[in-house]
């Protein structure tokens, strides 16, 4: 691991700063929207726009890179991100914010694809698995650190919008000044959704549902916290706890998944999540209870995402994994676009409790469906090992991570 850090630290540092900037803007907008009197419904549109832009970027940016190259695409999209992060505070109107969020989602998708391709190319076959693991950890740590920075100033002012803009601008330096040359970029393969559904119905349905869960957590947690009457420090701690739980529980869940039927683990984790969601809904705990709830929900959502990817690829040859993973991430993105919209509608109708109702209902559906799928066919041979994958990773990083996880031979290149 030390060798990996020594050779890839500029890229990892840049990615860390990118994630801090992205993590700050998502939570900050939810808090500032409440201050500005923007309705829950309108904020849900703002938050959903990011996922729409991210999904659009994942489809369009690879072609842009092939036409003009990594450096130009990265510099152009990065400049746009830095500008948008400041413009939020200039005109706090929900329509303007929604347009800006759409654009910034597109841009973040692009810079992630570029950074991930550089990271993948900078690692050797022997170190690529460790490099990708470090990348996923850095992503989580960046979002956790972002929540702490929210306490540095008043969210009603400009300072908290300037900080992520500066951090994102600084993130370009270690990436663009890295001695690693820009890699060759190949267009990602495609697999029809009908074929993908035949391969793994649970993978498709589960990824759609988890897209909704993840976007509700990432996009609407701060909106929920503002409606609930939490302070800025309590909201930031709540969001941080979600990612701490996801980071800590990925690895023990991964060990169990490699030694048992992944469908059962998906079912058990979803059951735990729905129990916690409805318990929180009815018990209305204080801040410490909410932090425990957040850690459990994060500890469910992140591993289930990785489990569904690994389970689907258990049915595939290595040559088809990239196409299947790209398809699953697209399905996940569609679910993510709907998540904030439905959550916002429920919170408008039911109050803050709508947040937990939405998450709980999705987890009920996933629990029942995963249990039913165990009766439809035997568990596949688990040639594909569990890979720690963050829900914000692009198809490029997922393909590389799954390729390394699926190889028992450390000399074998990533698929």
Contact 207, 325 (CB under 8 A): no
Of 246, 264, 244, nearest in space to 256 by CA: 264
The SS3 call for residue 412 is: coil
Dihedrals phi, psi of 140, to nearest 5 degrees: -65, -45
119 in Cβ contact with 135 (< 8 Å): yes
Is 171 a domain residue?
yes
411 in a domain, yes or no? no
How far, in Å, CA of 383 to CA of 258, rounded?
A: 9
Distance, CA of 317 to CA of 312 (rounded, Å):
11
3-state secondary structure of 317: coil
Tally of CB atoms within 10 A around 343: 31
Residue 148 has a CB neighbour count (10 Å cut-off) of 15
* CA 322, chain centre distance (Å): 18
As given in the structure block, the two tokens for residue 124 are 């050797």
Please state the domain count of the chain: 1
pLDDT of residue 410: 38
Sign of torsion, CA 17 20 26 32? Answer: negative
DSSP letter (8 states) at residue 388: -
The b/e string for 291-330 (b: 16+ C-beta within 10 A; e otherwise) is bebbbbbbbbbbbbbbbbbbbbbbbbebebbbbbbbbbbb
How far is residue 178's CA from residue 22's CA, in Å, rounded to a whole number?
A: 22
SS3 labels along 268-283: HHHHHHHHHHHHHHHH
pLDDT at position 387: 61
415 within domain boundaries: no
Q: Which domain holds residue 175?
A: 8-180+189-405
**What is the CATH classification number for the domain harbouring 14?**
1.20.1250.20
pLDDT at 271: 94
* pTM recorded for the entire structure: 0.85
Q: Is residue 332 part of a domain?
A: yes
CA 195 to CA 189: how far, in whole Å? 14
Flag residues of the chain having pLDDT under 70: 1-8, 120-132, 175-176, 178-190, 318-319, 321-322, 381-415
Q: Does residue 50 fall inside a structural domain?
A: yes
Spatial separation of the C-alpha atoms in residues 345 and 332, rounded to whole Å = 20
Residue 2 lies in a domain: no
Determine the Cα–Cα distance for residues 43 and 14; give it in Å rounded to an integer.
29
Neighbours of 183 (CB within 10 A): 15
Provide the pLDDT for residue 44: 92
Helix or strand holding residue 235 (H, E): helix 232-257
CB contact at 8 A, 384 and 310: yes
Element (H or E) spanning 46, and its range? helix 40-68
Is residue 414 situated within a structural domain? no
Question: Taking the CA of residue 62 as centre, how many other CA atoms within 13 Å lie in the half-sphere pointing to its CB?
Answer: 17
What pLDDT is attached to residue 408? 43
Gap between the Cα atoms of 130 and 387, Å rounded? 11
Structure tokens at 329: 């991430």
Whole-number pLDDT of residue 74: 79
Are the C-beta atoms of residues 257 and 308 closer than 8 Å to each other?
A: no
Tell me, yes or no, whether 353 lies in a domain: yes
């Amino acid at each position: 691991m030390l060798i990996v850090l020594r050779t890839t630290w500029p890229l990892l540092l840049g990615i860390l700063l990118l994630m801090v900037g992205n993590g700050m803007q998502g939570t900050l907008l939810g808090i500032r929207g409440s201050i500005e009197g923007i309705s829950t419904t309108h904020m849900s549109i703002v938050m959903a726009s990011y996922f729409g832009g991210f999904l659009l970027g994942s489809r369009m940016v690879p072609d842009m890179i092939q036409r003009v190259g990594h450096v130009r695409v990265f510099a152009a999209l990065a400049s746009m991100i830095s500008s948008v992060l400041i413009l939020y505070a200039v005109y706090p109107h929900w329509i303007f914010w929604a347009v800006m969020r759409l654009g910034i989602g597109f841009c973040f998708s692009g810079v992630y694809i570029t950074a991930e391709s550089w990271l993948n190319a900078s690692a050797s076959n022997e170190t690529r698995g460790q490099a990708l693991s470090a990348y996923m950890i850095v992503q989580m740590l960046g979002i956790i650190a972002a929540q702490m920075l929210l306490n540095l100033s008043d969210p009603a002012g400009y300072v908290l919008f300037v900080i992520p803009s500066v951090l994102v601008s600084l993130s370009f330096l270690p990436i663009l000044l890295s001695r690693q040359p820009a890699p060759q970029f190949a267009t990602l393969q495609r697999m029809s959704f009908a074929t993908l559904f035949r391969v793994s119905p649970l993978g498709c349905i589960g990824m759609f549902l988890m897209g909704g869960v993840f976007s509700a957590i990432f996009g609407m947690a701060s909106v929920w916290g503002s409606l609930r009457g939490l302070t800025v420090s309590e909201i930031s701690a709540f969001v941080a706890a979600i990612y701490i739980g996801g980071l800590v529980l990925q690895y023990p869940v991964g060990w169990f998944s490699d030694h048992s039927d992944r469908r059962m683990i998906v079912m058990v984790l979803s059951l735990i999540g729905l129990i916690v969601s409805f318990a929180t809904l009815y018990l209305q705990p204080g801040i410490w209870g909410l932090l425990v709830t957040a850690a459990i929900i994060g500890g469910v959502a992140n591993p289930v995402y990785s489990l569904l990817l690994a389970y689907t690829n258990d049915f595939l040859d290595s040559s088809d994994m990239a196409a299947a993973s790209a398809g699953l991430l697209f399905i996940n993105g569609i679910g993510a676009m709907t998540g904030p919209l439905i959550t916002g509608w429920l919170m408008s109708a039911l109050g803050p409790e709508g947040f937990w109702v939405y998450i709980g209902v999705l987890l009920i559906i996933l629990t029942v469906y995963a249990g039913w799928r165990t009766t439809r066919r035997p568990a596949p041979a688990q040639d594909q090992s569990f890979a720690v994958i963050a829900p914000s990773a692009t198809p490029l990083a997922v393909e590389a991570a799954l390729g390394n996880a699926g190889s028992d031979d450390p000399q074998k290149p990533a698929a």
